[in-house]
Structure 1
Amino acid sequence: MRLRPLALACAFPVAVAAQASTWDAPLPPPALKASPRLQEALPAQTHSQLPTYIEADRFEGQTDIRARLQGHVQLRRGDTVIRADQADYTLADDTVIAQGNVHINRGGNIYRGTRLKLQVDAFQGDFTEASYRFLDTQGHGDAQRVEFLSRDRTTVHQASYTTCQRDDSEGWAPDWVLQARRMELDRATDTGVAYGGVLKFKGVPILPVPAVSFPLSDKRKSGLLPPTIGIDSVSGVEYAQPYYWNIAPNRDATITPTLMSKRGVNLGTEFRYLERQFSGDLTLNYMPDDRLRERDRWSYAWRNQADLSPLLAGLRADWKIHRVSDNDYWRDFSLPGSGGLTNERLIESHGALSWARDGHSLLARAQKWQTLQDVDAPITPPFDRLPQLQWRYTPLALHNPLGLDWSLEADTTRYRARTVDGRQHIDNGQRSYFAAQVARPFLRPGSFVTPKLQLHTANYRFENDRPGRASSHSLAVPTASLDSGLIFERPTQVRGRSYVQTLEPRAFYTYTPYRDQSMLPLYDTALSDFNLTSIYSENSYTGHDRIADNHMVTLGLTTRYLNADTGAEVARFGVAQRLRLADQRATLGYDAPGTKGWSDILVGAGVKWGTRWATDALVQYNRDIQRTTRSAVTGRYSPGPFKVVSAAYRYQRENSTQIANQGSEQIDLGWQWPLNAAARAQTPGNGPAAKGRWYSVGRLNYSLSDKKLVDTVIGFEYDSCCWIGRVVVERLQNSVTRANTRLLFQLEFVGFSRLSLGADPLSSLQEHVPGYQSLRSQAPAAPSRFSNYD
């Protein structure tokens, strides 16, 4: 056998850093880039064909039979490297027996110990008094004995496991560690299972684990998920223990039994699937004999989307079936794992079949609502669509030789609903409408003029008689409008920076004659929001049950500042006002009709101060009472990762004609901000910290008119090198007079599991704090085995 040294050639890329502007983040340090010829995993069929390289200070033995090696011993084959002070290698059975400072590197995973007996190619053998470190998770630990069963399976006896990284201090101990009688590690599935173990945090046992599985990478795996523990005055102590079942790469299920000490046991199941032509999820919850309501409680939800293009090009199907057992379900089930539908009192089920091709689209849909009523705060049930048939046609550009923009839409829908007391709604019936519009844009450099004609016809057939209303009603409403504007540009400079400033005056005219619609129901219609976009629209309402008789002119002026190099919008300022030429007569019945004369003035602005600051503002001013009737000002400051502060002020006067009316006035403040130097230096995925990172996070919504906090979420996060702690106090308003207060606590052991007390605080922060970023939302890329090359 010939001794051969092994050489490794690396190519170092040359990085050239361009000069960064004051708004740019610092450039990352240059890093090695793996060659595309280097394979992360060697094919199994090549293992027996790979050569063996041996190196040592002293060599003795029989050629092609056995060898005794002493001093700086190295044995290499493929992705496996064995180092030791001395070793005996037998070629017949491919076995090496090594002693003294034994070191194994197999695909970047490191093992160290005192004595090793191993069949190299089969990778079967024993390792005594060993320590180990895994490449993917950087998890490591110690063991009395490591038993290699195959290239993928390993059993570790009297073992420990943690992802906390060792430092140079004396007496170092991991913040958390899992100690187990036996661990079975499977690299094929990247999962580990510990038996007879205990989880310790800061040296204190916090959770016995008779059997628990944990990940060896970020791949999905079957096993128990972190439990959720809660204490509630109604349910008592709640314990939810989810189990995740990785059925297949495209299918999985989560089974969650929940024990409520005052009520009983709830079983929840979620099944997800992703196939080539369809995907969806099915959620089931069942609680037999709930002692709170003295009845069985249940809910189910099935959502599915299907692509039926193999049957007919452009054909799709979509359905959602969702139901619960009773009206109190939304208030009684709020914790994760118990099928919570917090504050969801309108539950929708629908089924739809749609087709689209060459500008045509067809829709057949059935939609039904379940309304969960509250005696103290009843809500009007919405109308069901049973069924709806719709056709739309918008021709492609190549079919418009005259430059016309036109479209057609036809719809017929049967609407049914019940009143709050359960009787048939008097407005149940069938509505059919046809809408057509045609426009001819005239576009020139610096100007545009767009005349448009619209026609809306509708027919209503009612199932029930109402005094003064016929059993059917038809109407046709035409609309004419003219939109026009100019665009001027000029180069300018602001504080030494070059911009392109625009000046954009705009005039919009619309006319719709009055048609009596007072006896028509409101199936899908509501008042449009009054803003700088809707002020240039023909109709004051959404939906198809009211066409407002508008005769008015809208005048507006907008100026923008654009980046001279990229064209990106940096700032915009706009003002607009309507002049109504005649009183409005068609209304919804609960809104104030528009009167002849000038409307409120809308003033809006938006500025992006570099990459850190952004502000938006909208003010609605009434000239008659010389007061602001509505205003909204928002601002956001985000100088870097995990640093964001947002603030908003909102004011709405309930009646713009009354000076003394106060309306609603609120201040909203949200933030995520580092509290110490280590946290301020944090960037996504930059590895463990020498010192822990503290963050403050929260949101406060304060009503100035009521002089009280409406919603409050305040918490702290601590990010150590291998665990994250979160504590959150949450108080959310769930009715006019009542609020729900919860204390949420979570320990996240990085690369292992999470333990939560109460609901998941991470979900609460992501839902309620604007711009919140999870501390591990951008994990570093999976390391290469060549980064641990020996």
Structure 2
Amino acid sequence: MDIHAFTDVAPASPRPAGAAAGLRARAGKPPSPRTLSLSAPRFSPTAIAGLCMAMLWASPALVLAQTSADSDDAGLVLRASPRLQENLSSEQRGKMPVYLEGDELTGQTADMTTVTGNASLRRADTMIRADRLRFYEPSNTAYADGNVHINRAGSVFDGTELQMQLDSNEGFFKDANYRLLPNNGYGVASRVDFIDRERSVVHEGTYTTCQRNDEASWQPDWIIRAEKISIDNLEEVGVAENGVLEFKGVPIIPIPKMSFPLSEKRKSGLLPPTMSLDSDSGFTYAQPYYWNIAPNRDATITPTAMVKRGLALGGEFRYLEPTYYGTLAGLYMPGDRLRDRDRWSWLWQHIGSIDTPIGGVGLNINAKRVSDSDYWRDFQGNSYKLNERLLNSEASASWSRDDHSLLLRAQKWQTLQDPLSPIVPPYDRMPQLQYRYTPQNLPLGLEGSIEADATRFRADTSLLNQPNADRGYVQAELSRPFIAPQGYITPKLMLNTRHYNFDNSGLATVSSASITVPTVSLDSGLTFERSTRLFGRNLIQTLEPRAFYTYTPYRDQSMIPVYDTAPYDFSFATIFSSNSFSGYDRIADNNMLTVGATTRFLDAETGTEAARFGIAQRLRFSDQRVVMPNASPVNERWSDIMLGAGINWTPKWGFDTTVQFNPDSGRSVRSTMQARYKPGDYKTLALAYRYQAQNSEQMDLGWQWPVDEIFGSKGKKAKGEGRWYTVGRLNYSMRDKKLVDSVVGVEYAGCCWSSRIVLQRLQNSLVQSNTKLLFQMEFTGLTKLTLGADPLASMRENVPGYQSLPSGNGSAVPSRFSNYD
């Protein structure tokens, strides 16, 4: 017969008939134990089932309470209960009783109690099982020996002998096996000392996150063997001392002292070093230090040594507030030996917004600067796109309310020139003020907007050979859409007026200029549908013809320099536009009609698009005379034909193509074709062909694929674990007959570690390229060892459709009830 011992069990009183009474929660500290019950209370199966249903219905966190015992019509309300809380406070835990259970119980009240045979002790979220268990009530101390098992809020320990003070959780455990709840890490130890509720020390122990499989010969892929391992669940960090890291049974790294995370919580300390080897800087070693300043602020400081260049110091500071957030970062290298000068870079990114009684106010800053024009090629592995040749720095303040918005912006560019491939620097906006009004409830179904802008353009006039200027413009639009299920028609009227004041540099033929250009357009389209069946699939086919007419009278704009304007690329996105130029310095004189048609095949059940085909062409009724400087007028009546197709017949296959075809020459002017094949997770093939007449012709191949399936075998694991994968991207210039960019690598992801090695060669000028070897090994829940820039980031950026392999233990937040005894 099982014997149960409870600290103060009061018999239940009968429930009054007709009373609106519910289950009551016992509050306060239970009375001191007075007696030990030597016979278990007996309940019928029906009573036990009813009690269980009542407890489930009450829920882990809520119980029913009676609002008023004196009122016949008093209702039931819900009251918070601490019964099954995830985390218990010390005060709550101290008020909870101790439960003892076993085959045989001896002892006396308020002294030592001994339980033998299937002995167990439970208090709050701590449970102890053993062959023999003694509980000394005056000090609330438990002693256990023989197959001892303890579960402390989900973390479990098994061993031969235990002593623990239940209030302070201080004690020790001999010959222990342990498993930690936060990250499922585990190991063995000759002894575990419990310092308090959150801290413990493992002596002569091991630690790993590798999970055992069913093979009898299984051994963890990596393991730490250390003289001392300190576990701090409050800080969620472990520290190993005087140990070694073994991989596949081979010691690889000695560990005088190393900390490792027990969760994703941030902590200050040294991060894994980064080592790289490339053709420009030689061997590079970077040792970052992470500083967890506050929950909403942190910093990373990174000293770096480059064999060919010298020493550098980099840093990053991040901040996060309810209404704004941002990043400050920089690098300084005194005396670069290869360039014989100091090198530096900095950036500041800030995004903020706040609601005020007068509307929403925003402040955005995106500032970047580097020391010299060679920075982009010498430091290609840097973050925040500081390896671009055009670095934009701007600050803007914005305001919006209802239909009105206002923007004040200052923008300045830094142009990094290459003598072999010079680029024209853009104009700075110092400053720009823009107002926009977009009313939402105009009468008669009208839609409209007004945009006013004043900008001061500044640049080095000796490089651009045109004057700086102040420009102001106002552009108004008014349209009336007529929309029906079978189609639509939208007439629109636009008016653009501009005024320029030029500086007195001597480059302007006039001191000022003004021009006003009106535009009218008519956009229309129809939609036809029919049911059809192709290749055994029920589909809905649409036919969507479209006609767009626009007229803009000629206004001479040849005396106006170009500040923010460029011709649009000819594409499906721009062929139905009223202006051939972006920006506001040129408004094209157009008298033309664009006609086109699109047909789509939609799945009859889901509505997803299985295929799409389109064609469009312009008919020009008069020559276009407004052109960019030094460009020839457009005089052909019929434009090139735009052809497009997209096929996604199954989720595995996809094909997209766009062709600009010249009917006079019978040849393609520009073509883009892309095909992808993705039969499952971690499997993708992407092939692209890009052609532009008299300019470039390139093939691009990207892939991610299991190595074993390349050679005809099928892997057993479909979710990415335990297999080698090859990844890469090759960009080949058919015109130059050479590889432009290439990224090729292999990677592996196991249950508790992953590894990837990538060879990356990227072109950084017409005649130069940079080659890097990237290597990374990650021990799940421990650390990363990285050689070179992050290969994972390189694959995500360069390989189309790349999918990161699983990290091992997952990211679910553990609960003590998921490992409950």
* TM-score normalised by the chain length of structure 2: 0.87
Q: 1:594 to 1:426 in 2, by over 3 A?
A: closer
Q: For 2:803, give the aligned amino acid.
A: Q
Contact 1:160 1:180 in 2 (8 A): yes
Q: 1:174 to 1:119 in 2, by over 3 A?
A: same
Q: Secondary structure at the match of 2:388?
A: coil
Bigger Rg, structure 1 or 2:
2
Pick aligned residue for 2:362 from 307, 311, 316: 316
Q: How large is the Cα RMSD of the aligned pairs? A: 2.6
Pick aligned residue for 1:161 from 207, 214, 221: 207
Q: 1:394 to 1:673 in 2, by over 3 A?
A: same
Q: Secondary structure at the match of 1:630?
A: strand
Pick aligned residue for 1:328 from 347, 356, 374: 374
Q: Aligned partners of 1:708, 1:342: CA distance in 2, in Å?
A: 27
Matched, 1:541 2:598: no
Matched, 1:694 2:740: no
Q: CA deviation at 1:592?
A: 4.7
Spell out, residue by residue over 1:360-413, the C-alpha distance to the aligned partner (whole angstroms, 9 max, x if none): 1100010111222233333222111000000111101x2x11111111111110
Pick aligned residue for 2:408 from 344, 354, 364: 364
Greater shift after overlay, 595-604 or 170-179? 170-179
Mapping 1:127-146, distance limit 5 Å: 127-146=173-192
Q: Secondary structure at the match of 1:560?
A: strand
Matched, 1:68 2:138: no
Q: CA deviation at 1:558?
A: 1.1
Contact 2:421 2:766 in 1 (8 A): no
Q: 1:60 to 1:228 in 2, by over 3 A?
A: same
Q: CA deviation at 1:492?
A: 2.0
Pick aligned residue for 1:190 from 236, 242, 245: 236
Contact 2:120 2:133 in 1 (8 A): no
- Give the aligned partner of residue 45 of structure 1: 91
Q: CA deviation at 1:125?
A: 0.8
Q: For 2:731, give the aligned amino acid.
A: N
- Give the aligned partner of residue 802 of structure 2: 772
Q: Secondary structure at the match of 2:380?
A: coil
- Give the aligned partner of residue 742 of structure 2: 712
Mapping 1:161-560, distance limit 5 Å: 161-310=207-356, 312-335=358-381, 343-396=387-440, 398=441, 400-418=442-460, 426-466=466-506, 469-560=509-600
Q: CA deviation at 1:722?
A: 0.9
Q: Secondary structure at the match of 2:355?
A: coil
Q: Secondary structure at the match of 2:359?
A: coil
Q: 1:635 to 1:777 in 2, by over 3 A?
A: farther
Contact 1:465 1:471 in 2 (8 A): no
Contact 2:373 2:416 in 1 (8 A): yes
Q: 1:763 to 1:451 in 2, by over 3 A?
A: same
- Give the aligned partner of residue 756 of structure 2: 726
* TM-score normalised by the chain length of structure 1: 0.90
Q: Secondary structure at the match of 1:694?
A: strand
Q: CA deviation at 1:728?
A: 0.9
Mapping 1:726-745, distance limit 5 Å: 726-745=756-775
Q: CA deviation at 1:219?
A: 2.3
- Give the aligned partner of residue 705 of structure 2: 673
Contact 2:749 2:806 in 1 (8 A): no
Mapping 1:57-136, distance limit 5 Å: 57-136=103-182
Q: Aligned partners of 2:299, 2:205: CA distance in 1, in Å?
A: 31
Q: Aligned partners of 2:502, 2:128: CA distance in 1, in Å?
A: 86
Q: Aligned partners of 1:245, 1:467: CA distance in 2, in Å?
A: 54
Spell out, residue by residue over 1:147-171, the C-alpha distance to the aligned partner (whole angstroms, 9 max, x if none): 1111111122223211112234455
* Structure 2: gaps (5+ residues): 7-39, 42-47, 57-80
Greater shift after overlay, 258-267 or 599-608? 258-267
Q: For 1:786, give the aligned amino acid.
A: F
Q: CA deviation at 1:624?
A: 0.6
Q: 1:37 to 1:650 in 2, by over 3 A?
A: farther
Q: Secondary structure at the match of 1:314?
A: strand
Q: Aligned partners of 1:451, 1:167: CA distance in 2, in Å?
A: 70
Contact 1:333 1:340 in 2 (8 A): no
Q: CA deviation at 1:579?
A: 0.8
Q: Aligned partners of 2:460, 2:177: CA distance in 1, in Å?
A: 70
Spell out, residue by residue over 1:92-114, the C-alpha distance to the aligned partner (whole angstroms, 9 max, x if none): 11111222222111122111222
Pick aligned residue for 1:55 from 68, 89, 101: 101
Q: 1:303 to 1:525 in 2, by over 3 A?
A: same
Q: 1:42 to 1:371 in 2, by over 3 A?
A: same
Q: CA deviation at 1:470?
A: 0.6
Q: 1:424 to 1:592 in 2, by over 3 A?
A: closer
Mapping 1:569-588, distance limit 5 Å: 569-588=609-628
Q: CA deviation at 1:144?
A: 2.5
Q: For 2:781, give the aligned amino acid.
A: G
- Give the aligned partner of residue 762 of structure 1: 792
Contact 2:743 2:759 in 1 (8 A): yes
Q: Aligned partners of 1:391, 1:232: CA distance in 2, in Å?
A: 50
Q: Aligned partners of 1:137, 1:770: CA distance in 2, in Å?
A: 32
Q: 1:590 to 1:760 in 2, by over 3 A?
A: farther
Spell out, residue by residue over 1:231-269, the C-alpha distance to the aligned partner (whole angstroms, 9 max, x if none): 244433211111222222221111111122333321111
Q: CA deviation at 1:295?
A: 3.2
Q: For 2:266, give the aligned amino acid.
A: R
Q: Aligned partners of 1:458, 1:480: CA distance in 2, in Å?
A: 18
Q: 1:540 to 1:644 in 2, by over 3 A?
A: same
Between the aligned residues of both structures, percent identity stands at 54
Q: CA deviation at 1:755?
A: 0.5
Q: For 2:189, give the aligned amino acid.
A: A
Q: Secondary structure at the match of 1:762?
A: helix
Q: 1:549 to 1:162 in 2, by over 3 A?
A: same
Q: CA deviation at 1:551?
A: 1.3
Contact 1:679 1:695 in 2 (8 A): no
Matched, 1:784 2:815: yes
Spell out, residue by residue over 1:428-456, the C-alpha distance to the aligned partner (whole angstroms, 9 max, x if none): 11111111111111223312211111111
Q: CA deviation at 1:566?
A: 3.9
Spell out, residue by residue over 1:719-767, the C-alpha distance to the aligned partner (whole angstroms, 9 max, x if none): 1221111011111111112221111111111111110111111010011
Greater shift after overlay, 772-781 or 190-199? 772-781
Q: CA deviation at 1:642?
A: 1.5
- Give the aligned partner of residue 22 of structure 1: none
Pick aligned residue for 2:656 from 587, 603, 616: 616
Q: Secondary structure at the match of 1:293?
A: coil
Q: Aligned partners of 1:340, 1:491: CA distance in 2, in Å?
A: 50
